Structure 1
Amino acid sequence: MSAPTDTAAARREPGELFGPRFAFFADVLAIGLATTVAALPLVTAPAALATACTLLRRRQWYDEPCTAGRYFAALRARRWRADLAAGGVLLGLGALVAADAALAAAGLPGAGPFALFLAAVGAVLAVTGLRACAQPAAAESLPDGAAGGWRAAVRASAARTVQDLPGSLLVLLALATAAVCAWTVPPLLFLLPGPLAVALTAVEARRAGPFATADAPKASTH
């Protein structure tokens, strides 16, 4: 009996050293590093992560490579007024949660229950914000992106955070895993946005029906 031919080696193009899985791995590393650079001002973090999710979604739909050049080209094409407003809201919420955490750590009466409540609120806000970055509406600058912008993206992510609890738990687990990796191996911090964007994109694409992405390409009828 002959050996099966449906292997990574059989699917390589002539002269190609690595298979498609390695190409995806390289794309994720490139996207992770580019996202880290783009998010350094902090106020640009939502736009940076949304762009990464957009390129990964396009890779799934159209098999486009996720190179750093494509990433920064898509980043430059964004509507930065709305993106910077979203980043400002993110920083404001982060500062508010940090201030409340400092008060809870000061040992005031009722600090224990308040700390638990604050942790729950912070987790919900984090999951909602991350899922918003993976919404097609957050990629409104692209020609085939869904209309609506950040407001529509946040509304959709808030609904999914509540209605799709398994997906929200997966996002929270991905965020916790990224935090542990960054704490144990600090140099990985520069690459972690790539796998995090992969997790967010996969969570949003894993469900059919009401949770399917609205602007996914339709099957050809020709």
Structure 2
Amino acid sequence: MTLFADVLSLGLATAVASLPLLTAPAALSTACAVLRGVREGRPVTVGRYLRVLRGRLRVGDLADGAVALTGVLLLLATDLALAGAGLPGAPGFAVTAAAIGACAAAVGLRACARPESLTDWPTAVRAAAGTAARDAGGSALVLLALVTAGLCAWMLLPLAFLAPGPLAMAVTAVEGRGRQGGDATD
């Protein structure tokens, strides 16, 4: 029960740190790093989260956040514009865009859970893309966790500030299960 309470407080800290939107990938990656420390006996505290996050907010992390935000906005704007225009093939494009977005979200979330994300985003994204392709079940679990967090936030707005904690825990668990079992998902 203590870990659950810690995850909720970590979710609140992550949500607050993500408010500028450019810091969202770094904030979620930091939450995953703090949760990975549980295996080594390190406590999950907001103080530890803030210490790790303070070292993360550098120009490269903000640029990566800008790239992620731009990608999401472009995908949404393109999808909405084409769907609203009534062009032939728009429904097929909407399905294709949704599939591309889902794959990008799975890779992005899995990259946040990788240890490399603390220092080198390109390496984390490449490794996460390979892992996502090899572990389709894990990628589906990551997407299910994202959808669940989104639905909880949509249904009850105060949960939007707690949802990043359980999302980070789910993504960290999915990404860590291959390493713990010693299989070749990395």
Q: 4+ residue runs of structure 1 moved beyond 4 angstroms?
A: none
Q: Which has the larger radius of gyration?
A: 1
Contact 2:116 2:123 in 1 (8 A): yes
User: Distance in 2 between the 1:130 and 1:78 partners?
Assistant: 17
1:81 partnered with 2:54? no
Q: CA deviation at 1:139?
A: 1.8
User: Distance in 2 between the 1:119 and 1:78 partners?
Assistant: 31
User: Distance in 1 between the 2:56 and 2:89 partners?
Assistant: 45
Q: Taking structure 2 as the reference length, what is the TM-score of the superposition?
A: 0.94
1:99-144 C-alpha deviation (Å, 9 max, x unpaired): 111123212221110110011001001111100000110123xxxx
1:104 partnered with 2:82? yes
Q: CA deviation at 1:79?
A: 5.5
Residue from 113, 132, 140 that aligns with 1:161 = 132
User: Distance in 2 between the 1:84 and 1:26 partners?
Assistant: 29
Return the letter of the residue paired with 2:110: R
Alignment-derived partner of residue 119 in structure 1: 98
Alignment-derived partner of residue 4 in structure 1: none
Q: Taking structure 1 as the reference length, what is the TM-score of the superposition?
A: 0.79
1:200 partnered with 2:171? yes
1:58 partnered with 2:37? yes
Where do 5+ consecutive residues of structure 2 fail to align? none
User: Distance in 1 between the 2:184 and 2:57 partners?
Assistant: 28
User: Distance in 1 between the 2:53 and 2:143 partners?
Assistant: 26
Structure 1 residues 132-147: aligned runs within 5 Å:
132-140=111-119
User: Distance in 2 between the 1:183 and 1:91 partners?
Assistant: 20
Contact 1:39 1:48 in 2 (8 A): yes
User: How many residues get paired?
Assistant: 182
3-state SS of 2:56 partner: coil
Alignment-derived partner of residue 24 in structure 2: 45
Determine which structure has greater relative contact order: mean sequence separation of CA pairs < 8 Å that are 6+ residues apart, divided by chain length: 2
Q: CA deviation at 1:209?
A: 2.5
1:151 partnered with 2:130? no
Contact 2:23 2:57 in 1 (8 A): no
User: Distance in 2 between the 1:69 and 1:173 partners?
Assistant: 29
3-state SS of 2:184 partner: helix
Contact 2:110 2:128 in 1 (8 A): yes
1:33 partnered with 2:12? yes
Contact 1:30 1:66 in 2 (8 A): no
Give the structure with the larger helix fraction. Answer: 2
Contact 1:132 1:157 in 2 (8 A): yes
Q: CA deviation at 1:182?
A: 1.1
Contact 2:25 2:112 in 1 (8 A): yes
Return the letter of the residue paired with 2:80: A
Aligned identity (percent) is: 53
User: Distance in 2 between the 1:91 and 1:25 partners?
Assistant: 29
